[in-house]
Amino acid sequence: MEIKENISLSSLNWFRTGGAARYFCEPVSPEDFRKSLQYARDQHLELFVLGEGANILVSDHGFPGLVIRPRNTAIEVTGQDQETGTVRVRAGSGVGIQDLIDFCLEHNLGGLEEFSGIPGTVGGAVYINLHYFEHLLSEFLVHGTVIHRETGAVQTVDPEWFRFGYDDSRLHEQTHYLLEAEFRLRKISDLETAYARGRRDETIRHRARRYPESHTCGSFFRNFHPEEVDLSVNGTPMIYVAYYLDKLGIKGQLAVGNAVVSYQHANMIVNRGTATSGDIAGLAREMQEMVRDRFGVVPQPECQLVGFRESPLLEPAAPEPQNPATEN
C-alpha cells in the first residue's frame, strides 16, 4: 500500500472545495489499515478517515496529517436464519451505501432501501448512524469489526458497543475505526422485491426533487435536541432546524461569495462552482447568526469540519444564568 503526498481533496468531497492532504492512502485489507495507523503513529500525524466525502467541509488549507480512504469494497451473504426469515450480509467500510442496497435487492433482501439515494459509505453510515425519517441504520446492524487506533488490535463488537445516538456513535471518539459491518435483512419474495425496487427508485426521485444533487454536503446543521429549544408547536418541542431557517426566507437568496443557500432546502448550502470552503463556512456562520438573533438558539453543524485549526462557526448559545435561591 502506497502512502502518497499532497493529494488534493477537492475532488474527493461533495462540496468540491478544500486543499490537499499532506499524506493519503487507500487501504484494502485490515493489514493495510493497520500499517496506515502505524505510519501515522510513527510520524506523529493527525488522522482523518474519508468515505465518499458527502458530509464534510475541508479547510482551504487542506489537512496536515494522514487521510485514510478505505477501499475494502467486498459484500457477501454470510448466513441465514430459517426460523426468523432473515439473512446476514457483511460489507466492507469502503462499500457505497447504494451499492449495498442494490446488492441486497438483487438477493431478495429488504430493509435498507429506506436509505436509497443517500450518498456515503458503510463506514461513514455507521459512524453517523445513518437516518432517514424514522429509520436508523443501527436497527439493522448485527455487529461490526473495528481496529484500535493505537494498538492496531482488531475486534468484533455488538451494536451496544457503538452507543448509537442521533447522528452519533462511539466511533466519534476516534479511538477505533470501522473495517466492516454485518447487517440483518429480511428475506422477501420476488413480488416484495419488485415493490422494494420501486420504493428505492421513488425515494431517489423524491430526494432529487427536494434536495440538490451535487456540490453540497446535504443538511449542514443537525436538528436541535429537545432540551435546546424553547419553541413548541402543539406541545411538541420544535427541534427541526429547517423550520427556523425557512422562517428567515433565505432559500436561493442568502449567499457569501459563490456559496448560496439552496433554493430547494433552507438547511443545504450549495457551491455554485467556484466557492471556497471559506465562503461556505462564512455563509453557515451568517445563517447561525440570523437564527440566533431571531429565535435565540444557535444551529450546530452536522457537516464535519476537516482541517480547520479553529472552528469558523458559532458555538452553542450559553444557558441563561439562574438566579440563586433565596430564603424567605
For residues 140 and 231, state if they share a domain: no
The span from the CA of 280 to the CA of 270, in Å, is 8
* Overall average pLDDT of the 155-163 stretch: 97
Same domain, 53 and 106: no
What is the per-residue pLDDT across 167-186, written as a single tens digit (0 to 9) for each?
899 999 999 999 999 999 99
- Tally of structural domains, the chain: 3
Q: By residue range, what is the domain housing residue 43?
A: 4-68
Same domain, 80 and 147: yes
Instruction: Give yes or no for a contact between 220 and 56, defined as CB atoms under 8 angstroms apart.
Output: no
Q: What is the pLDDT of residues 46-87, one digit of tens each?
A: 999 999 999 999 999 999 999 999 999 999 999 998 888 899
- For 284, other C-beta atoms within 10 Å of its C-beta total 25
Q: Is residue 187 part of a domain?
A: yes
**CATH code for the domain in which residue 16 is found:** 3.30.43.10
Q: pLDDT at residue 324 above 70?
A: no
Same domain, 85 and 202: yes
Q: Distance (Å, rounded) from C-alpha 26 to C-alpha 264? A: 35
User: Taking 90 as the threshold, does the pLDDT of residue 121 lie above it?
Assistant: yes
pLDDT band per the 50, 70, 90 thresholds, residue 151:
very high
Q: What is the DSSP string of 223-265?
A: PPPGGG---EETTEE---HHHHHHHTT-TTT-EETTEEE-SS-
User: Does residue 320 form part of some domain?
Assistant: no
pLDDT at position 328 is 36
For residue 317, being part of any structural domain is answered with no
Q: What is the pTM of this model?
A: 0.91
Alpha helices (runs of H) in 163-240, residue ranges in sequence order: 190-210
Dist CA 95 CA 180 (whole Å): 9
pLDDT at 315 over 80: yes
Determine, yes or no, domain membership for 245: yes
Cβ burial, residue 278 (10 Å; 0-12/13-18/19+): middle
Mean model confidence pLDDT for the chain: 94
**Residue 324 has which C-alpha cell?**
440563586
CA distance 23 to 20: 9
